[in-house]
Chains A and B, each alone.
Chain A
Amino acid sequence: MSLGSSDTVENSGRWPEGWTDPLPRLLLWFSASAATWLVVGLALLIVAGVQVVNPAFLGGISFLTYGRLVPAGINALVYGWGSLAAVATILYLLSRLGGVTMPSGRLAYCALGAWNLALLLGLCAILAIGGNGLLLLELPPFANVTILLAYVAMAIWGYALFRGRRIPGVFASSWYLVAALLCFPWLVVTGNVLLVWLPIPGPAQAPVAAWFAGGMLNLWLAPVSLAAIFYIVPQVLGRRLAAYNLSQLGFWSFMLFAAWCGMGRMVGGPVPAWMASMGFVTSFLMMIPVLIAGVNVFGVLKGTSEWTLPLRHAAAGIGAFAGTYLLAAILAFPPVAGIFNFTDIAVAVGLLGLGGFVTLSLGGLIQFVLPQFERRDSLAEKLGSWHLWLTIIGVGGAVVCLVLGGILQGFAQSDPGIVFSHSVDYVMPFRFLALLGLLIFLAGAICLFLRVHRALVRHLITPP
């Protein structure tokens, strides 16, 4: 690797002669795209949510029915918001943790453009002609191929940054970043090939589909989010993580169990017994990395008074991380799954993972880097903290409502004496409140959108 290898160690804080570090600017552009997709995705899901509460809303319009809005919204959140923010995070953090940078961001900007265009067209295709019913694989093949190629163009830089790093140690964040870097293409290729392009027979599809959909969070967005948290906390505090000697154990246990725990959704489902058991056991064992990550972060946060915005993001993010996997483990316990697996609690797990854990962690990193681009006024600060608090209140409130409603729904749907439509009536007030929570979350997302775009505009009109 030629990246900075000519530099001496004394020089390790600076870039090679003549290089300007393109990464902060790259992160700004990526964040702008990602924040836009966050707003778009949430808006689509909220329209879908209104239809759950009131089925007549926008009724009978083909491209605005629930069954098309939901895949469009989820894909916008995962491939637009989560994945773009994750790619930027990977590049930025690997550069920082390795003491190297890229000579130019041109390829990454091209990839970003292609990614955005493919996603936009793909979402339009979903709305116009419908998806294929496979969660997170609904985008038409051209979109998925483009996204994959764009990813590879950037992942090569990510790998180069990692290989070219100039310091001997490897920080825990780097492991998570490299793991995510490897897992995303493998997952996407496997899912698309086995389920869409050369579909395997129906009986084999359920486990693969559940594993793929789980993997997009567990093996792709979650490791990057954890890396962001582990980076932000010691950076802000200037202290090292507590119990860092456990971090290797935490990383490997996380990877091992996260690789399987997507099967936890199939407990009681049409998969052989061992797969369902594996899903539950690994979901349960996820408590080990959750505990270690919690000890790592909260041990150093204890008694701190320097509560900056990124630090609050990280703390809330690690809380959402623990909550997501705790809820998922409970939900995968077979007797619990038998009652609650198909209720709104499962929605709550996804919302807490994607809306809470991923959004707060990656949003935290974006807001950690953003100040260098913006005028340091109170509006930027306000937008930032509104984003944090509205997200926490919105996601938290929606999750609580969904869990409570889901408990009611689960019992009602298991009771032979209650007809299905009544179980829907019982849960409706909770869904309504959860929808309000989503609206608050959307308001928080708009704050992030405004803050990032404000910085972007300022950056564009005032060249450095």
Chain B
Amino acid sequence: MNRTPPVIVGVVLVFASAWLGVAMYSYMTLGYLTSVPDKASDSTLPPALSGLADAGQRVFAAEGCAYCHTQQVRPASISGDIEKKLGSRRTVARDFLYQQPAAFGYLRIGPDLANYGLRAKDEAEVHRLLYQTGSAMPSYRYLYIVRPISGQQSAEALVGLRGSYSPPEGYEVVPTPEARALAAYLLSLKQDYSLPEAPLEKAK
């Protein structure tokens, strides 16, 4: 008559299987991954984030960069990522060792960023992209300050701005601490080393 227990018990068992299999399993195995020693650089891999880059990943999360940018290079067996030089090996869980949260991303409305630090020329270029974009990305102008130049122009002022983005005469555009942190984080994104579970591959 009262069939409550079978349905509820069954649902709990089914849900628990996935909960144990995904959430708890990930926590107990992937959650305990550690860095691996690297003889060449006499340090450990993946390289730890600098303090500034660590702050930058929080800006990355808050500004929702991960809604448009993935940070995962897929293996050559199923995708053209490596052939397209997005990276020299697939991304594995250990690559996110120092990321909090892990910004793996679901969509590539913008390009993959797993190895952005290898592609970017310098910090000035990153700031220029964030400020005036020049692509399908919205401008992150509000992470920068336009201020009158007092005395000499600041060393970190953005150069090479075009059109409506170039500041008026006597003014300069300087990054806020958030923008500096974000740039440091973006420049730290490099997966150019081998990990035991993911050796480097060569593009064909």
Interface residues, chain A, CB within 8 Å of chain B? 51-52, 55-56, 59-62, 65-68, 70-71, 129-135, 162-163, 168, 170, 174-175, 178-179, 182-183, 186, 190, 194-195, 199-211, 219, 252, 255-256, 259-260, 263, 265, 267-272, 275, 278, 334-335, 337-339, 341-344, 346-347, 413-416, 420-421, 424
Contacts and interface: CB of A to CB of B under 8 A. Distances in A.
Nearest to A428: B136
A134 B83 CA distance: 29
Majority SS at the chain B contact face: loop
Nearest to A132: B61
B140 A204 contact: no
18 contacts: A65-B64, A70-B64, A131-B62, A132-B101, A179-B7, A179-B11, A201-B100, A203-B95, A205-B99, A260-B18, A268-B90, A339-B79, A342-B70, A347-B107, A416-B80, A416-B85, A420-B111, A421-B136
B138 interface: yes
10 nearest CB pairs, A to B:
A67-B64, A130-B62, A133-B61, A338-B79, A338-B78, A60-B141, A202-B96, A259-B18, A268-B74, A203-B93
A147 B136 CA distance: 36
Given A175-B7, A203-B94, A270-B96, A133 B101 contact: yes
A203 B67 contact: no
Given A204-B30, A204-B31, A270-B95, A182 B15 contact: yes
Contacts of A201: 30-33, 97, 100
| Chain B interface extent, by class | 35 or more
Residue among B65, B106, B137 having the largest count of chain A Cβ atoms under 10 Å: B106
B166 interface: no
B63 interface: yes
B104 A270 contact: yes
A256 B10 CA distance: 10
Given A59-B138, A163-B4, A337-B78, A203 B63 contact: no
Contacts of B14: 252, 255-256, 259
Given A67-B138, A129-B62, A267-B78, 18 more contacts: A55-B133, A60-B138, A68-B63, A70-B67, A130-B61, A133-B103, A168-B1, A182-B8, A202-B98, A202-B100, A203-B33, A204-B29, A204-B30, A255-B15, A269-B74, A270-B92, A339-B80, A421-B135
A131 B64 contact: yes
A381 B173 CA distance: 57
Contacts of A260: 18, 21-22
Contact of A270 (B80, B91, B107, B139): B91
A182 B23 contact: no
B13 to A, nearest CB: 10
A203 B93 CA distance: 4
A362 to B, nearest CB: 21
Given A133-B103, A201-B33, A207-B26, A414 B11 contact: no
Nearest to A336: B78
A132 B136 contact: no
B145 interface: no
Interface in B3-39: 3-4, 7-8, 10-12, 14-15, 17-19, 21-23, 26-27, 29-33
Contact of A132 (B12, B62, B77): B62
Nearest to B142: A62
